[in-house]
């Protein structure tokens, strides 16, 4: 499974809805980064992600999404495509890691 991240300059709360609608067309989802108070969106940056088993499709969707973002006047800061070896969010055949994540989920720092 591949995962693409596109990082852009921060957008206002008012812009998020239209931005989300624009990037969904390309299979991306706008991340909800919140400040430590848990309510205010981060003003440091904004990013979106998409996942696919097909690298070529993901790459093309990312290119098309970037073109659309630039046409909207959005500044692109970083584009990254990763191959996910393990992500416990999507399950794992390695029971020990999943078990550790589940046990520590309620812990506080």
Q: Which among 18, 67, 19 is positioned nearest to 46, based on CA atoms?
A: 19
* 42-39-88 Cα angle (round to 5): 75
**C-beta separation of 47 from 6 below 8 A:** yes
CB atoms within 10 A of CB 15: 13
- pLDDT score recorded for residue 85: 81
pLDDT recorded at residue 109: 35
Look at residue 47 in the predicted model and tell me its pLDDT: 87
Helix (H, G, I), strand (E, B) or coil at 52: strand
The domain spans of the chain are: 2-104
Per-residue pLDDT of the chain (109 residues; tens, 9 = 90+): 899 999 998 888 788 889 999 999 999 998 876 544 455 555 556 889 999 999 999 999 999 999 999 999 999 999 999 998 877 776 655 555 555 554 444 444 3
Q: What is the pTM of this model?
A: 0.73
**Whose CA is closest to 29, among 11, 1, 53, 51?**
51
Taking domain 2-104, whether its CATH number is 3.30.70.1150 is answered by yes
Q: What is the pLDDT of residue 45?
A: 66
């Amino acid at each position: 499974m591949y995962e693409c991240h596109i990082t852009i300059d921060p957008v206002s709360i008012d812009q998020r809805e239209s931005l989300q609608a624009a990037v969904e067309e390309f299979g991306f989802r706008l991340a909800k980064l919140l400040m430590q108070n848990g309510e205010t969106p981060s003003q440091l940056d904004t990013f979106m992600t998409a996942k696919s088993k097909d690298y070529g499709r993901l790459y093309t969707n990312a290119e098309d999404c970037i073109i659309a973002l630039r046409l909207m006047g959005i500044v692109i800061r970083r584009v990254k495509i990763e191959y996910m070896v393990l992500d416990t969010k999507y399950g794992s055949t390695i029971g020990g890691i999943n078990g550790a994540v589940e046990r520590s989920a309620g812990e506080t720092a």
